[in-house]
Amino acid sequence: MAIKPEVLSQPDTNTPTVLVVTPRATLRINQSKSGVRRRKSDDSIDLDAPDLYFNRELSHLQFNIRVLEQSLDSSHPLLNRLFFLLIFSSNLDEFFEIRVAGLRHQVAIDREKSAADGMRPTEILKEISRLCHEQVERQYALLNEVLIPAMEAEKIRFIRRNQWTKEQAAWVEAFFNNEILPVTSPIGLDPSHPFPRLVNKSLNFIVSLEGKDAFGREGGLAILPAPRSLPRLLRLPDELCDGGDNFVFLSSMIHAHAKSLFPGMKVKGCYQFRLTRNADLAVNSEEVSDLASALRGELLSRHYGDAVRLEVADNCPAELANFLLKQFSLTEEELYCVNGPVNLNRLMAAMGQIDRPDLHYKPFTSGLPKPLRKEAGSIFNAIRQGDLLLHHPFESFSPVEDLLREAANDPDVVAIKQTLYRTGADSNIVNALVEAARNGKEVTVVIELRARFDEADNLTLASRLQEAGAIVIYGVVAYKTHAKMMHLLRREQGSLKPYAHLSTGNYHAKTARLYTDYGLLTANQDICDDVHKVFLQLCGMGQVLNMRKLLHAPFTLHKKILEMIDRETELAIAGKKARIIIKVNAITEPKLIKALYRASQAGVEIDLIVRGICCLKPGIAEVSENIRVRSIIGRFLEHTRVFNFYNDGKEDIYCASADLMERNLFHRVETCFPLLDSRLANRVRKDLKTYLLDNCQSWELQSDGQYLLNSPAEGEAEVSVQETLLDAYAEKLN
């Protein structure tokens, strides 16, 4: 079925929000004009001109808006539409915690820096505020006017206080008295009770009181932090409901019984609010002597960073909202009045309690490459027959786990080295590494402790591996280890035979079901030797080692990609066919963008599949008219990074852990690996062509900043790339 999205209109200020169905979705953030600017000296086009670049933060925000748009798309199952809406909330939280917080910090210390687009942090913050207010209003309108009614039609209800039956109200009262009241600590505001320090993103209430308390103090204001130990969403007992799935919010329970917390006082009003704080960790790599200890200390401070956003219930009186703003040193631009729960992420709890497979995507079983299906014995035997490429989630992640599990118990395996970025302390991968260490293997694990929001888990798994006898390395302090790689040594016929795994994604079985990634299993001597060299650089000290096949950041990756772009440019100038296809999550690095502009000017045909941030402007006459940019948003999060250069018919295909961003290319350890087996390279080329044919899940970026949703032309076949890959590789269960 072709996508026919329901799109919330952008309302005029004097009219209420209404839902309008349009035949084609259009997203625009900034409507900057892209006139060609020429240099004065030689009349050549100035590729440094700010109007040739989109702003990084606004492009990031635009990706989040495209995620929200999926909840408007009726071709997705109902509960998955709700999931997209909640992911938008989660993404927006992180956007404020990290990106907005960083911009505010620049302004606060009077060190505003403009990027290639020329916008200064104060300008960006103003535009972010405008856009976020618009989109949050759309989000709640969609929830209240579309999704909740649709769920109620399916007997999935979020029951408000005024809808409780007598029996439900009695159950709520009992729960409040037995579970909420004993653990709740309201804080009256007076000279001896200053405004409390509130935890980042915690649920709180501001309460307006009247009367005198036991000490004769006049009523005023109180802050009521919701107990963090209690769930924010509770399922009502089935016997109290007329079938279906019925939920009540903790906030509704507290609102209904707030007077019980202030005996003898009159509660004039009780309003929920939530504060978002700067959550970036401030670890100075140049001053750290023990990274693990420094991170443990910083993790505690993450809850109490500077305030960046205040969300309040939209029925909160202006004087109380202004009082809160003053407490947190925020302005009205940082205030968001919402028509519903201040933390929609809490609705995620309902997703796991609703047994309605008919309202979710149809299930599938990930496939396996033919050699693994045929080879019933050792996975090492299958890899020796030739390189294996896994495309998750269409193909299973289990061969990676099986390889480690077999290696842990194989007496011929003598050493295992692996990087871990996001994996979870309790996973099959970690279990296998622990078992291998206990079995006497030489196990070395490079753990990136600074994987954002996974720092605590990574500290835990580091301790677990160390206790098992593994050597644990934290990489290089000034560079995050973002490379995904594994190296194994197995004694075969009297000598040590290397094996390797390289991937575009993390060693995490759960995300391997949700993210698209490529993983290569190989026994190629050159690639295995290169992987070993990268581990030597991470674990020891020494000069940069020459690689035979791998490209790696921060040393050769940026330079080599520039060279391959320039090579296509030279081929086009020589009148030969020149072609570039790049698939990444983001492209922001100015030198690479300028190289792509020059390639386009020379006539190179360029297709960029960029899921998220794209600072390059396509389709500009005389600059980028040969560049097309599309973003795929669908059931799975697009996460593969692929570089395809035509190279005069001798095509190069690389997969990488890195995006084309400054941080990946210059401040992280990354790997980029070639597909040397022509069968695998042809397969990836075919995948890329399918991505370029997608007319159901793809958004086309225009030179003015619009993203247009592609749809099949009249008589044109529908192509959904993710569905096509599921059909090609996965085993459907229905």
- Return d(Cα 162, Cα 90) in angstroms, integer: 29
* Residue located via tokens 């004065």: 40
For residue 590, which of 657, 658, 642, 666 has the smallest C-alpha distance? 666
Q: Euclidean distance between the first and final Cα of the chain, in Å?
A: 18
Q: Cβ-count burial of 543 within 10 angstroms (0-12 exposed, 13-18 middle, 19+ buried)?
A: exposed
For residue 517, which of 620, 656, 635 has the smallest C-alpha distance? 656
Phi/psi-derived region of residue 416, left when phi > 0, alpha when psi is between -120 and 50, beta in every other case? beta
Do the beta carbons of residue 596 and residue 616 sit within 8 Å?
yes
The two three-digit tokens of residue 162, written as one number: 């005024």
* C-alpha atoms less than 13 angstroms from C-alpha of 67 in its C-beta half-sphere: 24
- The sign of the dihedral angle between the CA atoms of 385, 484, 641, 645 is negative
Separation between Cα atoms, residue 384 and residue 368, nearest integer Å: 17
Residue 227: is the preceding peptide bond cis (ω within 30°)? Answer: no
Question: Can you give 166-184 as a three-state secondary structure string?
Answer: HHHHHHHHHHHHHHHHHHC
| 276 and 92 Cβ atoms separated by less than 8 Å | no
CA-to-CA distance for 55 and 113, rounded, in angstroms? 13
Q: Are 362 and 728 in contact (CB under 8 A)?
A: no
Which pair of structure tokens corresponds to residue 428? 């099959």
- Work out the number of other CB atoms within 10 angstroms of the CB of residue 570: 14
255 is catalytic: no
Q: Does the bond joining 554 to the residue before it have cis omega, within 30 degrees of 0?
A: yes
Query: Using CA atoms, how far apart are residues 717 and 411, in angstroms rounded to an integer?
Result: 54
> Please, which residues bridge with residue 394 across strands?
none
Q: Radius of gyration of the chain from Cα atoms? A: 28
Nearest residue to 379 (alpha-carbon basis) of 362, 365, 398, 394: 398
Question: Which residue, among 660, 477, 651, 445, has the nearest Cα to 553 in the 3D structure?
Answer: 660
Q: Are 578 and 595 in contact (CB under 8 A)?
A: no
Angle, helix 101-108 to helix 121-142, in steps of 10 degrees: 150
Q: How far is the C-alpha of 589 from the C-alpha of 662, rounded, in Å?
A: 5
In one-letter notation, the amino acid at residue 488 is L
Which entry of 255, 257, 391, 482 is annotated as an active-site residue? 482
Q: Are 278 and 97 in contact (CB under 8 A)?
A: yes
* Contact criterion met (CB below 8 Å) for 312 and 335: yes
Q: How far apart are CA 192 and CA 186, in angstroms?
A: 14
Is 421 within 8 Å of 449 (Cβ atoms)? no
Query: Catalytic residue numbers?
Result: 482
